[in-house]
Amino acid sequence: MPEVYVKTMRHGRDVLVAICDVELLGKTLEGGRVPFKVNETFYKGVPADLDEALEAMRRATICNLVGKKIVEAAIENRMVHKSAVIYFGDIPHAQIVVL
């Protein structure tokens, strides 16, 4: 069973990967400064497991991550520092930009 959605987009030289936990797709997250919509147009890609998502992240220059599963996996794999994570209520969000 898939754990996340992975969507890969190319913009010039950048490879943007958007990943969200499957149960968050289409939801609006409250509890931050502003509500955050986990927009299907942006986040709905291919259903994947965490290993597949991490592999897509390794090929990316920009990553947008939403959800406990994917953000915790990124932290465990040293791709995101826990102090860089923001929260919408209890749902984590992180971004990665490779310069």
Name residue, tokens 């754990």: 3
Decide if pLDDT at 32 tops 80: no
Long-range contacts of 41-45 (CB under 8 A, 24+ apart): 42/7, 42/18, 43/5, 43/7, 43/18, 43/19, 44/5, 44/7, 45/5, 45/6, 45/7, 45/8, 45/18, 45/19
Among 3.40.50.2300, 3.90.180.10, 3.40.50.1220, 3.30.1860.10, name the CATH number for the domain at 4-97. Answer: 3.30.1860.10
Decide if pLDDT at 45 tops 90: yes
Mean pLDDT of 16-37: 94
Mean pLDDT of 48-66: 98
Q: Is 59 helix (H, G, I), strand (E, B) or coil?
A: coil
Question: What is the average pLDDT value for the chain, to the nearest integer?
Answer: 96
Which pLDDT value is given to residue 99?
85
Structure tokens at 75: 């932290």
The residue type at 99: L
CA distance 53 to 33: 28
Decide if pLDDT at 90 tops 80: yes
Mean pLDDT of 52-77: 98
Is the pTM higher than 0.75? The answer reads yes
Sequence spans of domains, the chain: 4-97
CA distance 5 to 90: 19
Which pLDDT value is given to residue 49?
97
Decide if pLDDT at 77 tops 90: yes
